[in-house]
């Protein structure tokens, strides 16, 4: 075994990314292609999320963070917003058994106070009842925006009287406090932008964009994205591994 291979193994090369973030895009187009209402696309998107969460857990991904509803998504037609909230309610109402079986913590990034009291209660109940599970963590970004998160963090810091500021301390004011930064961002659906997602956390995240629409983004597509991730040379500003 070459010294380089030994070093790669010691560094955990080939192991799954510790944290995967996903922008679940393409639900509307998936539905349109089938002559279905957009809400049917979101329902299929929830099934794809369930499948992805299960698969990530199986292959040893510790953290999965998904963009379920952004601070900008309120601009969508009321009917669509209500349908997404309804799907979330249904999912959360059924989630506890699966979280217990998979020993997965469910957490939320975003200001939940804008949601209905019933939905807020479901979020808090799932988070509270799953908080000690040790099998991995799923973060659902709900009423989440990266800029909003940074502004809120700055306000929390100011409210504490502006203590000496480091990157670590700033990170502790974010919704993601205590969660390692994503190693891999996957955006299905053909767009190549980050849409106000995890702006602080993705400073060194590898990004993989795919044309496959989210409801069709299955285990094989996740494997492909991970394979691309492994082909990248993460340098974090350093010169990184040079070819032998």
Residues in 160-219 at the binding interface with ligand FPP, rule: CB under 6 A: 189
Eight-class DSSP state of 170: H
Closer by beta carbon to ligand FPP, 60 or else 93: 93
DSSP reduced 3-state for 120 = helix
DSSP reduced 3-state for 45 = helix
Q: How far, in Å, CA of 176 to CA of 63, rounded?
A: 11
- Regarding 115 and contact with ligand FPP (CB under 6 A), the answer is no
State in angstroms the smallest separation of the CB of 168 from ligand FPP: 29
Q: Tokens standing for 30?
A: 């998936």
- Regarding 25 and contact with ligand FPP (CB under 6 A), the answer is yes
Closer by beta carbon to ligand FPP, 63 or else 173: 63
* Only segment of 26-34, 170-178, 227-235, 236-244 that touches ligand FPP (CB under 6 A): 26-34
In the set 20, 61, 68, 185, which binds ligand FPP (CB under 6 A)? 68
In the set 17, 27, 144, 148, which binds ligand FPP (CB under 6 A)? 27
In the set 19, 42, 57, 105, which binds ligand FPP (CB under 6 A)? 42
Q: Among 45, 58, 66, 44, which Cα is nearest to 101's?
A: 58
* Selected catalytic residue, list 27, 73, 132, 218: 73
Closer by beta carbon to ligand FPP, 94 or else 227: 94
Q: How far, in Å, CA of 243 to CA of 125, rounded?
A: 51
- Regarding 64 and contact with ligand FPP (CB under 6 A), the answer is no
In the set 16, 17, 45, 145, which binds ligand FPP (CB under 6 A)? 45
Q: How far, in Å, CA of 244 to CA of 242, rounded?
A: 6
Looking at the DSSP bridge assignments, the partners of residue 63 are 19, 137
Question: Residue 223 catalytic?
Answer: no
Q: Within a 10 A sphere around the Cβ of 238, how many other Cβ atoms? A: 7
- Regarding 53 and contact with ligand FPP (CB under 6 A), the answer is no
DSSP reduced 3-state for 100 = helix
Question: Residue 73 catalytic?
Answer: yes
Q: How far, in Å, CA of 35 to CA of 29, rounded?
A: 10
Q: Taking the CA of residue 162 as centre, how many other CA atoms within 13 Å lie in the half-sphere pointing to its CB?
A: 0
Q: Compute CA 37 distance to the chain's CA centroid, rounded to the nearest angstrom.
A: 25
- Regarding 126 and contact with ligand FPP (CB under 6 A), the answer is no
Note the residues at the interface with ligand FPP (CB under 6 A).
Answer: 24-29, 42, 45-46, 49, 66, 68, 73, 84, 87-88, 91, 140, 189
């Amino acid at each position: 075994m070459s010294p380089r291979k030994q070093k790669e193994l010691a560094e955990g090369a080939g192991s799954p990314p510790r944290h995967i973030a996903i922008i679940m895009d393409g639900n509307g187009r998936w539905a349109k292609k089938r002559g279905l209402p957009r809400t049917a696309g979101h329902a299929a998107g929830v099934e794809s999320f369930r499948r992805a969460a299960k698969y990530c857990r199986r292959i040893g991904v510790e953290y999965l963070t998904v963009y379920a509803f952004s601070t900008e998504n309120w601009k969508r037609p009321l009917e669509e917003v209500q349908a997404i909230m309804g799907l979330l309610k249904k999912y959360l109402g059924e989630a506890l058994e699966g979280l217990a079986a998979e020993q997965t913590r469910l957490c939320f990034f975003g200001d939940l106070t804008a949601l209905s009291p019933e939905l807020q209660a479901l979020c808090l109940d799932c988070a509270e009842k799953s908080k000690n599970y040790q099998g991995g963590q799923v973060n659902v970004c709900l009423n989440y925006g990266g800029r909003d998160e940074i502004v809120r963090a700055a306000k929390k810091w100011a409210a504490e009287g502006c203590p000496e500021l480091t990157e670590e301390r700033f990170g502790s004011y974010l919704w993601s406090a205590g969660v390692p930064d994503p190693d891999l961002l996957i955006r299905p659906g053909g767009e190549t932008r980050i849409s106000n997602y995890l702006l602080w956390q993705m400073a060194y995240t590898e990004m993989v964009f795919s044309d496959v629409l989210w409801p069709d983004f299955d285990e094989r597509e996740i494997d492909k994205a991970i394979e691309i991730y492994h082909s990248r040379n993460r340098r974090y500003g350093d010169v990184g591994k040079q070819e032998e």
